[in-house]
């Protein structure tokens, strides 16, 4: 689909026409969207509401994901087109992999998995860094109808063990190591520790040996990745039901037990193909760079699957936004590979902004190929969105989605002519999502009212149909609080124009003396201060008011002013912008904020420490030492 340039601003009729068409005939709308996919057998029913916790899409259809993502492009004569560009500043390598080469590697590794006993419906755990072999392993599983479960590379052994226990893989695919700036992280010892903890044992482990640190292999269990690939006969694709699982991706659960989010084959392909055309406005041959990791849902959807499905060239980046080698790394990648669309997290932009607030590095690179910047993973504060938009002179689209949904709930739509978001907004609901704001009793609220963001059932194709072997757990987690709705767990509001404002998890809406206040709104104010690089606001226990907001701020590089003076200015700024009701009295200046490896701020950990509770380092934390730094700052009690 060619991007519709007839409408350039919010409120345009092209988006409204398409959304209204979906509302008028949801099943017919998705049936038409499904024409983008090659089916071995068409569906008996577009949607079956009686299946699973909330229904299933394309029941009776058969297809193969890998065929749609690789074989059909080669068959159409596009085998020489670059499928993946692997750019690894941490190892000093850049590789261009064509669709033909990726198909050949995938088919052979699929044959290797089959020779090791993997069959349709079996699980394969993939524990890999950002290397092309991770994508090969994912696609190889899809080729033979196996279910992959990618675990973020470098996860601690107990967390890996928990995922192995739940998925019960036939084979585990692992790399010998990952590479971080200044250090090499050994993966194989973590795998060995995890298997020592787990009761389930795989039939085999396949190890990609990286030259930076080769691993010792256990005779009889461990196999060399390249050796088994070279020895294998290419595997033919296995057709699976559209409703069969493609992958399991584990996300944190409130009970401490990881939740295995399931993604099906058919609905996933339909949703992603539709999103590339409508949300991102890209066509075959365009270069898309999603600066994430294959261990997260964004990496699944928009490094590996969606770009290849649409015949794009996808950049896989093994590096950081700063430090590999400097704050100009992103602009170098865009210039070198002629990236048309960049998709990243706001955290990356704030890291760049802290190191290069004037954007001097941008001028050193030719980024003329770049047409748009898309953001997700967390809400982008308006100052950062405004800063990067002014620096790049390109539309900035902050869109909102979740591991559970697999693609965007809200967005701006390049394919429909609806471009940049209002700074701080997540855009408009995607066709397929009847998004509303509910009060605590499940009643739909009018425009401008804050509450629980929820999607009326059924969910669109591509969203999780269930949790792995736990339909009841899916219902408890997402469907029971508001019957007839999917509870997103995020709070926010929809304004009079239809733009959606996601203000954070519903447990980040704090109650101060009976007033419901958004910590996200306070973060916006703090982030607007000239000296602040990034910030977090949480609700801390207060004997009088129930909760009181606590602000933590990281200052921009080079700021040497008195911290108490800055904190006082920030308190005054919140009072000025929001009013005394905000009751922000305490702001701490810290060197850094605790974050997950994917860049999300661990607000719950900060809140527990502020309340005097222990905050054990979660498995996803980037650096556990930062929790001690925050505890020390809380103890000093700057105001």
Q: Percent of the chain, pLDDT > 70?
A: 95
Chain mean position to CA 522: 25
Q: What are phi and psi of 596, to 5 degrees?
A: -75, 170
In whole angstroms, give the CA distance from residue 590 to residue 567.
Answer: 11
Q: What does the pLDDT look like over 252-273, one tens digit per residue?
A: 654 456 789 999 999 999 999 9
3-state secondary structure of 410: strand
- Select the more confidently predicted residue: 327 or 513: 327
Q: Which range is least confidently modeled, 156-165, 245-254, 293-302?
A: 245-254
Q: Percent of the chain, pLDDT > 90?
A: 81
- Residue 555 pairs with which residues in a beta bridge? 532
Length of the chain: 639
CB-CB contact of 406 with 263 (8 Å) = yes
- Using 50, 70 and 90 to split pLDDT, how confident is the model at 337? very high
Q: Which CATH class is domain 513-636?
A: alpha beta
Q: What is the DSSP letter of 52?
A: T
Q: What does the pLDDT look like over 458-467, one tens digit per residue?
A: 999 999 999 9
Q: What does the pLDDT look like over 530-550, one tens digit per residue?
A: 999 999 999 998 877 778 899
Q: Name 162's Cβ contacts closer than 8 Å, sequence gap at least 6.
A: 257, 258
Mutual angle of helices 132-143 and 99-115, in 10-degree steps = 60
Longest pairwise C-alpha distance within the chain: 71
The Cα-based distances of 155 to 142, 159, 163, 172 in angstroms read 24, 6, 11, 14
Does residue 74 register a pLDDT over 70? yes
Q: Which CATH class is domain 54-83+90-266?
A: alpha beta
CB-CB contact of 334 with 321 (8 Å) = no
CB-CB contact of 445 with 438 (8 Å) = yes
The Cα-based distances of 135 to 81, 245, 356, 634 in angstroms read 17, 17, 33, 43
**Which tokens in the block code for residue 504?**
């954070």
0.85 exceeded by the pTM?
Answer: yes
Give the pLDDT mean for 9-30. 84
Q: What is the DSSP letter of 595?
A: B
Q: What does the pLDDT look like over 143-178, one tens digit per residue?
A: 999 999 999 886 788 889 999 999 999 999 999 999
Q: Name 596's Cβ contacts closer than 8 Å, sequence gap at least 6.
A: 602, 618, 620, 621, 622
CB-CB contact of 592 with 628 (8 Å) = no
- Using 50, 70 and 90 to split pLDDT, how confident is the model at 10? very low
Q: What are phi and psi of 390, to 5 degrees?
A: -70, -35
Torsion (CA) 302, 306, 310, 311 in degrees, nearest 10: 60
Residue-range domain boundaries for the chain: 54-83+90-266, 513-636
- Using 50, 70 and 90 to split pLDDT, how confident is the model at 398? very high
The half-sphere exposure of 292 on its side-chain side, counting CA atoms within 13 A, is 27
- Using 50, 70 and 90 to split pLDDT, how confident is the model at 294? very high
Q: What is the DSSP string of 595-627?
A: BBTTS-B-HHHHHHHHTT---PPPTTBS-THHH
The CB density around residue 501, as the number of other CB atoms within 10 Å, is 23
How much is the pLDDT for 2?
A: 34
The Cα-based distances of 477 to 405, 433, 472, 620 in angstroms read 14, 19, 9, 21
Q: Residues 586, 589, 591, 596: is their CA dihedral positive or negative?
A: positive
How much is the pLDDT for 543?
A: 74
């Amino acid at each position: 689909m060619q991007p519709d340039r007839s409408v350039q601003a919010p409120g345009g009729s092209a988006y409204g026409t398409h959304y209204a068409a979906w509302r008028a005939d949801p099943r017919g709308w998705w049936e038409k969207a499904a024409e983008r996919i090659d089916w071995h057998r068409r569906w008996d029913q577009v949607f079956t509401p009686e299946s699973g916790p909330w229904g299933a899409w394309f029941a009776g259809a058969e297809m193969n994901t890998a065929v749609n993502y690789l074989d059909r492009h080669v068959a159409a004569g596009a085998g020489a087109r670059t499928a993946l560009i692997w750019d690894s500043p941490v190892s000093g390598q850049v590789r261009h992999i064509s669709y033909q080469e990726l198909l050949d590697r995938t088919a052979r590794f699929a044959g290797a998995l089959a020779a090791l006993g993997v069959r349709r419906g079996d699980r394969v755990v993939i524990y890999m860094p950002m290397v092309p072999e991770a994508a090969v392993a994912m696609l190889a599983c899809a080729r033979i109808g196996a279910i992959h479960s990618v675990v973020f590379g470098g996860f601690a052994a107990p967390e890996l063990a928990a995922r192995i226990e739940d998925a019960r893989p036939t084979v585990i695919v692992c790399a010998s190591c990952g590479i971080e700036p200044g250090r090499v992280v050994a993966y194989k010892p973590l795998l060995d520790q995890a298997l020592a903890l787990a009761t389930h044992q795989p039939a085999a482990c396949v190890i990609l040996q990286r030259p930076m640190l080769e691993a010792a292999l256990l005779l009889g269990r461990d196999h060399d990745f390249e050796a088994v690939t070279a020895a294998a006969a290419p595997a033919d694709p296995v057709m699976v039901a559209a409703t069969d699982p493609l992958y399991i991706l584990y996300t944190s659960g409130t009970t401490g037990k990881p939740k295995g989010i399931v993604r099906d084959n058919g609905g996933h392909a339909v949703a992603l193909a539709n999103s590339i055309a409508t949300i991102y406005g890209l066509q075959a041959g365009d270069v898309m760079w999603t600066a994430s990791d294959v261990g997260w849902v964004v990496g699944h959807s928009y490094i590996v699957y969606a770009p290849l499905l649409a015949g794009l060239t996808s950049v896989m980046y093994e590096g950081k936004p700063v430090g590999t080698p400097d704050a100009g790394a992103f602009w170098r990648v865009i210039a070198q590979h002629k990236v048309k669309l960049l998709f990243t997290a706001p955290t990356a932009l704030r890291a760049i902004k802290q190191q290069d607030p004037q954007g001097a590095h941008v001028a050193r690179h030719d980024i003329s190929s770049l047409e748009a910047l898309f953001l997700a993973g967390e809400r982008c504060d308006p100052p950062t969105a405004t800063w990067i938009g002014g620096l790049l002179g390109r539309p900035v689209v902050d869109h909102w989605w979740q591991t559970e949904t697999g693609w965007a709930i809200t967005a701006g739509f390049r394919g429909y002519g609806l471009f940049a978001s209002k700074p701080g907004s997540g855009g408009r609901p995607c066709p397929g999502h009847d998004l509303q704001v509910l009060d605590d009793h499940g009643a739909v609220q009018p425009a401008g009212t804050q509450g629980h963001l929820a999607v009326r059932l059924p969910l669109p194709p591509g969203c999780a149909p269930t949790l792995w072997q736990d339909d009841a757990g899916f219902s408890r987690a997402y469907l029971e609080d508001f019957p007839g709705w999917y509870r997103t767990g995020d709070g926010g509001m929809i304004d009079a124009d239809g733009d959606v404002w996601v203000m954070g998890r519903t447990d980040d809406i704090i109650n101060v003396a009976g007033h419901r206040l958004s910590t996200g709104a306070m973060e916006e104010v703090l982030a607007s201060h000239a000296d602040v690089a990034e910030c977090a606001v949480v609700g801390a226990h207060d004997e009088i008011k129930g909760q009181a907001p606590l602000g933590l701020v990281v200052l921009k590089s080079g700021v040497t002013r008195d911290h108490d003076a800055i904190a006082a200015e920030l308190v005054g700024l919140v009072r000025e912008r929001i009013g005394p009701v905000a009751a922000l009295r305490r702001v701490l200046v810290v060197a850094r904020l605790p974050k997950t490896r994917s860049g999300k701020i661990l607000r719950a950990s900060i809140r527990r420490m502020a309340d005097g509770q222990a905050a054990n380092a979660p498995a996803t934390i980037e650096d556990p030492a930062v929790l001690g730094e925050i505890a020390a700052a809380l103890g000093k009690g700057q105001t």
